[in-house]
Amino acid sequence: MGLCVTLLASAAADVSIPWEEGCSLRDSFDLSSSCGKPPALELIQDCGSQGHTACMKKRVKNQVLLTKSRKIESLQELSSFLQETASASCSGWGSKASAAADSIQQSSSSEYSLSFMSLMLGLAEEETIENIQKLRLTFPAQKMLLDNPKGFLDVYGSRFVGSILSGYEFGGVCSLTAKSHTANKSFEAFASFQAAGIFSASGSFHFQSKFNEFRSTLDLRCNARFKGGEDVPIGPYQTPADLVEAIEKWGKTRTKSHQPVMMITDRWIKLEEVQQILENETQEVRALFETDNVASTTMQRIGKEYAELKYLRRSAAAALAWPRTQHERSRNLSQQLQGFRDQLDTRLTQVENFNEADCRARESEILRGNFSWFKANETKQQLDACMKLLPECVQDTECQSETQRCSQESVCVEQDWENLWSRQAYQLATGGFYNSKGGFDRHLYLTHIPVFDKDWGQPLSKMKAKCLEDEKCRAFCNNPDNWSYFYTITNQGTENMGMHGEGWSCFVKPSHSWQALQYSRHRFLANPPGNERATHWQQTFKTAKNLCIEEKCEAFCWNPDDWTYVYPTKPGAWWEACCYGQGWQCFERK
């Protein structure tokens, strides 16, 4: 049984929710405005020796409720993480989230990032009202209840704060995001980071060392929320090491300098005075005060939905910032993402302004088995559908200015290496021949004489540069922790080398460059004299280039929404066309 449910059962009270600034024992309360209602209860004393009147009592607690760390790469993993922590942190929704939940909501984590999350929550003390049924209403509250019971609930809310739990809380998140180009988190940089120990001194050191290798391609953002402790740095946190320093200071004083973290509310009907006043009221009026509490599971489900929608909203914002999305061929994608983001903003605002009636409506739907209001999974599918419109590009990191670059520089060079695979136990197979003794000699098809060339423990950038310098080099396989090999062919198959260090990544060398022809969107090249152009319908840019290579063409004109034309010889004239989709771009082999 989760903490929120346990507290609810043991105290016969409303759900436990995160404590909010300004709330104290006896305060009037409702779910929409929290403790923003006028006080309805008279002051009470500490219990001391009193045994039959309402009084305040403190109990020492020493209980760690939550310690979780996780690497998050997808909505599914985030959802699982939230599910595990919701019952411990008693999260509400929107601004009513706990400090730990708020750190997740305000982080930079998204579908296109790699995030590391760590949460801790503990209790040190509980302050509660004993003999709660003996509480007395103030004179104005008593008069309002006598004259207008419905108005009493409007003015003072449907319940009051009966217990406050103090303790300590920490929620920290560090997110890695590719700076410029892609939604694919499987490439080399992301694969290099592990979750273990990132929020420890040694773990943060190793994390920072690895991040320094990829600083040019990755962006790192960290945030955290603390409750309890003394002199804890409040940020900004540039690295996990900054967070570790704050965590260490927080950890030394968190149990001594604790703060309110949760509270429990009770219904007015529990007071004997209220029961007496309502005794002669109609059943309809009494029912207003006897309404069942909103289940903790409903509150947690709403909080989880809110956090997931915030995650998807950040995903849309991240995708809109990519150069590929800002490209002129991404107009449809950009428009859909903007609409998607605006739709989520509306949805999130609605949840942030939830009131008790909204919560009860969701609870009623859940009890009937109707979960249609919860749309995070459906929203994720919408985002996935949008991303199918992401265009192919000459080079991801320069995609924003591909057409401009080709036009301005006259030559548009295909610089993107084709990644055959990343970090596997395989490399391109060796070739072989039968020697004079009938034996089979294996050797690598590598670029450098006399027989082969290889380098030990080299970074990927050096291997690319070396292969580019050698005309004979067609491909290479790189393992930064082992041998890296050069090849003159790429169709020889693969062989298993076993697991050594990070494993091998194999790349095929780019071998073609294209000169961008002056064009308008409404023109494409005419058929060359005596030759027919080949036509292909609605191709990606990458496919159009490959078609030209395969068909040994001298030029091609590409329109992602219409025909792509492949020309066997260099054309000499243009055809005028009308407005078809995104228009044509034409290139000739340099």
Q: Which two tokens stand for residue 406?
A: 């080709």
pLDDT digits (tens, 9 = 90+) for 41-66: 999 888 876 667 899 999 998 888 88
Q: What is the pLDDT of residue 137?
A: 96
Rg (CA), the chain: 33
Residue 263 and residue 56: Cα distance in Å, rounded?
14
β-pairing, 16-18 with 585-589? unpaired
Residue 37 and residue 152: Cα distance in Å, rounded?
11
Mean pLDDT of the chain: 77
Residue 208 and residue 94: Cα distance in Å, rounded?
32
Q: Where are the alpha helices (DSSP H) in 368-435?
A: 376-387, 402-409
Question: Band of the pLDDT at 167, cuts 50, 70, 90?
Answer: very high
Residue 236 and residue 257: Cα distance in Å, rounded?
22
β-pairing, 555-558 with 585-589? antiparallel
- The DSSP letter of residue 43 is -
Q: Maximum Cα–Cα distance for the chain, whole Å?
A: 113
Q: Which two tokens stand for residue 174?
A: 């560090």
Q: Is the pLDDT of residue 456 over 80?
A: yes
Exposed e or buried b for every residue in 534-546, given b needs 16+ CB within 10 A?
Answer: beeeebebeebbe
pLDDT digits (tens, 9 = 90+) for 332-391: 888 899 999 999 999 998 888 888 888 889 989 998 999 999 999 999 999 988 888 876
What is the set of domains in the chain, with CATH numbers?
Answer: 3-360 (no CATH), 417-508 (3.50.4), 513-589 (3.50.4)
Residue 52 and residue 55: Cα distance in Å, rounded?
9
Output phi, psi for 372, to 5 deg. -65, -25
Q: Is the pLDDT of residue 491 over 80?
A: no
Q: Percent of the chain having pLDDT more than 70?
A: 75
Q: Percent of the chain having pLDDT more than 90?
A: 21
Q: Residues near 270 by Cβ (< 8 Å), separated by ≥ 6?
A: 132, 133
Q: E strand or H helix at 461, and its extent?
A: helix 460-469
Q: If DSSP codes are grouped into helix, strand and coil, which group holds residue 466? A: helix
Burial class (CB in 10 A: 0-12, 13-18, 19+), 515: middle
Whether the model pTM is above 0.85: no
Q: What is the pLDDT of residue 126?
A: 93
Q: Is the pLDDT of residue 304 over 90?
A: no
Q: Is the pLDDT of residue 32 over 80?
A: no
Residue 457 and residue 418: Cα distance in Å, rounded?
22
Nearest to 523 by CA among 469, 576, 586: 576
Residue 99 and residue 496: Cα distance in Å, rounded?
49
Which amino acid would we find at residue 212? N
Output phi, psi for 344, to 5 deg. -70, -35
Dihedral sign, Cα of residue 470, residue 473, residue 478, residue 483: negative
Q: What is the pLDDT of residue 510?
A: 64
pLDDT digits (tens, 9 = 90+) for 216-262: 778 889 999 899 988 888 878 888 899 999 999 998 888 888 999 98
CB 58 within 8 A of CB 125: yes
Nearest to 164 by CA among 27, 268, 260, 37: 260
Q: What is the pLDDT of residue 179?
A: 72
Q: What is the pLDDT of residue 277?
A: 94
Nearest to 446 by CA among 415, 420, 483: 483
CB atoms within 10 A of CB 443: 11
Pick the residue with more confidence: 334 or 197? 334
Residue 448 and residue 445: Cα distance in Å, rounded?
9
Nearest to 510 by CA among 555, 546, 478: 546
Residue 162 and residue 131: Cα distance in Å, rounded?
11
For residues 428-452, give the mean pLDDT: 36
Q: Which two tokens stand for residue 505?
A: 């990544």
